[in-house]
Structure formats: structure tokens, C-alpha cells
Structure 1
Amino acid sequence: MTETNTRWDIFCTVVDNFGDIGVTWRLARQLVAEHSLTVRLWVDDLRAFERICPAIDIDAAQQYQQGVEVRHWPVEWVHTDAADVVIAAFACNLPNDYMDAMAARERPPLWMNLDYLSAEDWVVGCHGLPSVKYKSVQKIFFFPGFQPGTGGLLRERGLLEQRRRFQQDAAAQRQFLQGLGIERAPDAQLISLFAYENAGLDSWLDVLAAADTPTHLLVPEGRILGDVARWLEVETLTVGAIHQRQSLTVQVLPFVRQDQYDHLLWCCDFNAVRGEDSFVRAQWAGRPMLWHIYQQDEDIHQDKLDAFLALYTKGLSPAAAEAMNGLWRAWSAGQPIGEHWLAACKHWPELQENAQAWCLEQGLQADLATALVQFYLNWI
């Protein structure tokens, strides 16, 4: 049996709006496009899916999008045969009937829990280990990660070269931005802001507004809009709104397709992102960034944040590393970040070089889709 005649099922429950579906949709497309696999993507919330893939029919129980069979994951499960490879994304629970179907196969499928991304040291030791067992079917831990010995990161074939060419083509960038209604002033720095609600935002906007260098802040639809509106002292912000205060121009963008979001990140000088999918895509942009990590009970997320910062800032000078650590930790804690932003700006060329070097370093590892396929080939 080869990789090209196997069937893969990916199950996704949408927990945090777009992160879960964002990762699984990218993965499903890549498995089809680059590995010629037959992939079904089971999703319980097609409305959230529609935001990143407008072609989705939210009323269809079954449809095909970009070579992927998309199935609505119904409350009342209808029996279906189990695939050769079954991926439970982010520890979601599979339907009981489907688990029985896995156990009924003559040859049990490879059942993997595609876990959340983390830079913590223990991930390397747990990657590929057995988890729970259901009858004859053993579940395996599969961890994305930043270090050898993990599953790597989602990265499509040729992505970094595509990004490099785009960032060297001023005309292509200008055309893309104009397609979103963005007119960038020649001397303005471009920043994207995609984040959860954050009490520390006001101090950052205050500093950007008072700066000598103009800033054009691009804010896609999302949870941070309420905080931006309060700072601007307006009741609501809708797509297309443009407000200016001193040196700061704020523009609200529509929620865009994944490939458009990639290009937006590539255009910007600095990207503030959230969750997991946009976090990884910002790293592939090769530009300085700020991550709003998803908050977890008992501040468990803090360990994940510290572990990533230890890797990401390893190549920086002590002063630059201290500035980045202060900025990221304050932002994730909802604390004022204005002074931390000014401290980071003192090391801007070094932060730019570090972002590029980190991107290239991560690009040397096998991508997540390839790692999954290779794991299956080794397993059989």
C-alpha cells in the first residue's frame, strides 16, 4: 500500500472560531494537492469554515472544495466506513459509531491525535507515543513543533520562495493592497492586528499615534475591534472604516481567505497575530511579530509562551531579547505595552534579521503534512 491510494479522515470541532478549522483546512488541502491523498474533512461548524473559505455551502452535508471532500459533522451521526488514517484534530472526540467502524476494519487504521503546537521540551519526548486504545485501535500522539523530533509546521511546497518573490515585488504588493482598498503612504509603516480582546491595546495605539513615523494599522474583522473602537471613541467599527488620529491611521479589513491573509502578512512590516494558524503564518512572513497566545486555565499558556520565546529570541542580543520578551509577555497578560514597543523599536534592524533567520531555520525542517505522511509510511 502506498500513500497515493489511502483514504484519510480529518475531524475538526470548531472551538475558537478559526484556529481549529484554519489548521485542518490547510492540512487537508495540502495532503490532496501535494500527496495525492483522498481526504475527507469533517467539520461541525460550516459557518466558521465559510469565513476562511467563502465557497463553502453551509447547508450542504457533503461537498468538494479544492479536491477535499468536506462533510458536515452532524449531531446525529450517520454510519460511514472508517478511513485508513484518522486524524482527531486537537484532541476532539470522535463519534462512537465511527470508533466502532475503526475497530471493525480488518486492518485497524492509523489513529492520530494532532495536538496543539508547543515549543515546550516535553513535546519531543511525547511525539509519536501511544495514547489511549479503543478495542483494537491504538491512538498516537502527533505533535507539531519547532524542533527536530516533532512533526514540524504546516508549510506548503514552495511557500518561502513565493513569499520572497512577492516581498521583492513592490508592484505586486501595491496591487494586492489596493484590491483590499488599502492605499499605503510611501513613508508609513504597515502593521496588521489580529488579536483577542486586550486591555493593553490603548497604550500601544497611544504610542503609535504620537510617533514621528506614520503607521497604517490594518485590523481584520475580529474580537479586538471593540477595543479599537473604544480607543477611537466611536460606537462601532465596520469593514471599510478608516480613522486617523495624529500619526496613526486605522483601517478595518474584511475577513479574508487564507491565501489573502498570507499576502497581507507578507506586505506588513510588523504582524500582531493570535491563536495557532495565524501564528505560524506570521513566522513564514519573515517579519517581526507579536503573538497573542490563547489564554488557558491556571495560566498554563504562560509555559508555552516562555518556551517559544526562549527559542525565538535565542539569536538576539541580550538587550533585543529583553525588549521582545517584555513586549510579548505584557501583551499576553493584557498589560500596557507602549513602553515595551518603544524599547523593541530601538532594535528594529536586529529584529528584522532575526525574523528572517528564524523563518529560514524552520523551513529546513520537514513540513507537517509531509511528516504525517512519512509517519504513516513508517507505521505500515
Structure 2
Amino acid sequence: MRWDIFCQIVDNYGDAGVCWRLARSLSSLHQQEVRIFCDDLPTLNLIASGTDASVKEHIDIQPWEASFSNARHPVQTPNVVIEAFGCDLPERYLAGLFIAPVKPIIINLEYLSAEPWILDFHGKASPQSHGISKYFFFPGFQNEAGGILIDPVPSDGEVSKANIPTALKETWSKLRANAKRISVFCYPGAPLRKWLENLGSLNEDIDVLLTHGHAEQLSLYGQQAFQLPSNLQLLSIPFVSQDEYDWVLSQCDFNIVRGEDSFVRAQLAGKPFIWHIYPQEDRAHEVKLAAFLDLYLEEADQELRLAIISAMTWTMPSEWFGMLNQWSIYAKDWRTQLLKKQGDGGLAARLLRFTS
């Protein structure tokens, strides 16, 4: 089938990451014909830059306006249209669907959630005055939800340890042999500086890998430079592609992630993590985090449960870091169970079955 995915980028990386991973899953795993129309091609191309050329060449990446402005080569009517995260389709593109001899299915692809109420709305019709069939599709962790994106399934961290991506070799050469590794990718509102200062009070060598932009956020340079504790080493990594970032997550002992795509990849890496969920004014993010923790901690004992909740709510590391080994074992078990539940192919495969 032919798929059109519409992606409007809100927070720079997460929206583009999900749309790109979905496109390549549909194309490479399920041999679907996929186009992405995006309002921020530079960001999307950065995310996709490390993908194997044989995969990338089968996905048609287009600017947003190409969906309706190319009069000489009109866009062929797709079988399925994805409104990623509920973005509105361009009116002129939608007008073209009205007159198409065969109408497509429109999928309103919602944000990932573990909240129980999504099961009541997942797959339900959204009647439209124009008569084109439209449905809600909710990604989720439960068997009855829309699934998560699992492509590519990450290899074991030990297996991939030697395959250092070229863009990361310089940074990796500076890592200390016996130090723990923590990667950091969070929103500006996180108490990161205070968190790192507390981390430095622990009697343990720790290498902290800062993703693009975090060094400036911490004021590592200039008169207000961050004074590093002796056991802490901060290293900035360059902006890397999606696959290269997946690799980083697999090689760290602990990861701080944000948004949706890195949140899922942190779980598939089988490592402990903090999910810095996107803050919302009505505090809806707290409900979403609590719903995820209800699922994530279902098999955890009380001591580990309290430690993980503390970490996820930005309690200082000295309060819970001693539970990291137990958390690591638990995270590996969670990864195993997650992949087992997504054994039907996850989000891409469930979308395909739903629309076929």
C-alpha cells in the first residue's frame, strides 16, 4: 500500500524521530510505499542521516508544501494517510482526497501513553463531514493498544560494544575504564546542574555524556562555568543520527531521556533511565508518568519501586543510586517482557493489519 505520513515538528527531535522510525519500519520490514511530508526537513534529515542508504532510498522525504503545490506532478492518492500526533492535513491536500476515485483511510496517530483510558478509544472511528474514514490509533504498552515502534530491535550491549560509530570515536576514547556511564537528553526545565552536583558527591567515578546543547545549558564555559567534582567527567557528544543515539543508550549504565522516541529506546536498551516527560501546564504529564510507572513497576518489590519513583521525579541521586544494580536487572527483565508483548511486530505491524 501507499502511505503518506504528515509530520509537524513541535519539540525538534521526538516528533521527527517517531515519524522516521515508523516510515522505515513500514518500508523496510513490511515493503510498504512511504512518503513523509515534514515542515522541518533539516531536522528530519539529521535524524535519518545515519540510516543505511539501502533503507533510506525507499522512503520519499518531501517538504510539507509538496503535498499540495506540485501541479506538474500531482501527488498520487495514498491508501493510508497518517496525521502524526493529530496534526491537521493541508486543506489543498485534503481537497485532493475528496475527488480521488478511491478514498484513503486517515489515521490520527496519537501520542504514546500507558493510561488505561486509551484502550476505550484505540481503533475507534472519528466521523468526518467529508465522509473519508478516519480512526484514532493509540500507541501503547498494553496488548490491546497500538503497540510501540521496535525497529530496529537493539542488539545486546555487549555484542555491539566494539562497533563504535565514527562520529563518537573521539568522545569514546576519553571514557575511563572503570567509570559508570550516564547519558543526558532532557528538557531545559530539569534541575540538571543540581542533579549533577549531587551525583558528584557519590564515592564513584562517573562519566556523563551530554547530548547536543546541554553543555551550553549547564554553562560549562565562560565566567559562570560549572565546577566539576573530581569524580565526575562531563563529555559533550555531537549531534548524532537516530541509530547512533540508540547505540549510545545501549552502552550507558543509566540514561536520561525525553519525549517519546528516546523514551521507548531507553526501555529497549534494557537500562535504568529517567523519563523527563514533556511538561504541560495542566500537569497532565504527571498523570501520564504515573500511568507508565504503574505498568513499569508492576513486578518490582517495594524498595526498588520507591527508588525508581524517586529517580523519575528528580530526587537527588544520593537518595536512590545505591539501588542501581537491582534496577539494572529489573530493566533487562522489562525489556524482555516488552519485546515479548510486541512479538506481533509492534506499532507498524498493528497499523498495517488495522488498515488492510
TM-score (norm 1): 0.84
Corresponding position: 1:326 with 2:302: no
| Greater displacement, 77-86 / 138-147 | 77-86
Question: Equivalences for 1:227-238 in 2 at 5 Å?
Answer: 227-229=217-219, 232=220, 234=222
Residue equivalent to 2:197: 206
Distance 2:335 2:67 in 1: 44
Measured at CA, do residues 134 and 47 of structure 1 come closer, stay the same or move farther in structure 2, by a change above 3 Å? farther
Aligned mate of 2:37, from 31, 39, 42: 42
Aligned mate of 2:179, from 165, 181, 188: 188
Residue equivalent to 1:343: 319
Distance 1:199 1:269 in 2: 20
Structure 2 residues not aligned, in runs of 5+ = none
Distance 1:179 1:371 in 2: 40
SS in 2 for 1:210: coil
Contact 2:168 2:238 in 1 (8 A): no
Distance 1:302 1:233 in 2: 34
Distance 2:248 2:18 in 1: 18
Question: Equivalences for 1:290-301 in 2 at 5 Å?
Answer: 290-301=274-285
Report sequence identity in percent.
36
SS in 2 for 1:140: strand
Corresponding position: 1:23 with 2:12: no
Q: For residues 59-80 of structure 1, what are the alpha-carbon distances to aligned partners after superposition, in whole Å with 9 as ceiling and x for unaligned?
A: xxxxx94310011012994153
Aligned mate of 2:28, from 11, 30, 33: 33
Residue equivalent to 2:113: 118
Measured at CA, do residues 245 and 204 of structure 1 come closer, stay the same or move farther in structure 2, by a change above 3 Å? same
Task: Tell me how many residue pairs correspond in the alignment.
Answer: 346
Following TM superposition, by how much is the alpha carbon of 1:38 offset from its aligned partner in structure 2, in angstroms? 0.8
Question: Equivalences for 1:217-256 in 2 at 5 Å?
Answer: 217-222=208-213, 224-229=214-219, 232=220, 234=222, 244-256=228-240
Q: For residues 202-249 of structure 1, what are the alpha-carbon distances to aligned partners after superposition, in whole Å with 9 as ceiling and x for unaligned?
A: 332112222221000000113x434422xx464699xxxx98531100
Measured at CA, do residues 212 and 67 of structure 1 come closer, stay the same or move farther in structure 2, by a change above 3 Å? same
Q: Tell me: higher relative CO, structure 1 or 2? Use CA pairs within 8 A at least 6 residues apart.
A: 2
Structure 1 residues not aligned, in runs of 5+ = 1-5, 57-63, 332-336
Aligned mate of 2:162, from 171, 178, 193: 171
Distance 2:332 2:67 in 1: 48
Residue equivalent to 1:60: none
| Greater displacement, 96-105 / 166-175 | 166-175
Distance 1:127 1:26 in 2: 21
Corresponding position: 1:302 with 2:286: yes
SS in 2 for 1:217: strand
Measured at CA, do residues 131 and 92 of structure 1 come closer, stay the same or move farther in structure 2, by a change above 3 Å? same
Question: Equivalences for 1:77-92 in 2 at 5 Å?
Answer: 77-78=68-69, 80-92=75-87
**What is the CA RMSD across the aligned residues, in angstroms?**
2.5
Measured at CA, do residues 177 and 190 of structure 1 come closer, stay the same or move farther in structure 2, by a change above 3 Å? farther
| Greater displacement, 293-302 / 203-212 | 203-212
Measured at CA, do residues 173 and 321 of structure 1 come closer, stay the same or move farther in structure 2, by a change above 3 Å? farther
Q: For residues 127-146 of structure 1, what are the alpha-carbon distances to aligned partners after superposition, in whole Å with 9 as ceiling and x for unaligned?
A: 10012414120210001101
SS in 2 for 1:221: coil
Contact 2:50 2:244 in 1 (8 A): no
**Equivalent residue letter for 1:253:** I
Aligned mate of 1:279, from 235, 260, 263: 263
Residue equivalent to 1:334: none
Residue equivalent to 2:351: 372
Question: Equivalences for 1:29-178 in 2 at 5 Å?
Answer: 29-54=24-49, 65-74=56-65, 77-78=68-69, 80-156=75-151, 159-160=153-154, 163-164=155-156, 166-168=157-159, 170-172=161-163, 178=169
Measured at CA, do residues 175 and 101 of structure 1 come closer, stay the same or move farther in structure 2, by a change above 3 Å? closer
Contact 2:7 2:19 in 1 (8 A): yes
Distance 1:130 1:122 in 2: 16
Contact 1:103 1:134 in 2 (8 A): no
Following TM superposition, by how much is the alpha carbon of 1:110 offset from its aligned partner in structure 2, in angstroms? 1.2
SS in 2 for 1:321: helix
Following TM superposition, by how much is the alpha carbon of 1:169 offset from its aligned partner in structure 2, in angstroms? 5.3
Following TM superposition, by how much is the alpha carbon of 1:297 offset from its aligned partner in structure 2, in angstroms? 2.4
Measured at CA, do residues 199 and 267 of structure 1 come closer, stay the same or move farther in structure 2, by a change above 3 Å? closer
Distance 1:69 1:243 in 2: 47
Distance 2:67 2:28 in 1: 31
Contact 2:161 2:251 in 1 (8 A): no
Measured at CA, do residues 10 and 134 of structure 1 come closer, stay the same or move farther in structure 2, by a change above 3 Å? farther
Distance 1:348 1:233 in 2: 31
Distance 1:17 1:303 in 2: 23
TM-score (norm 2): 0.90
**Equivalent residue letter for 1:285:** A
Distance 1:218 1:39 in 2: 34
SS in 2 for 1:130: coil
**Equivalent residue letter for 1:348:** L
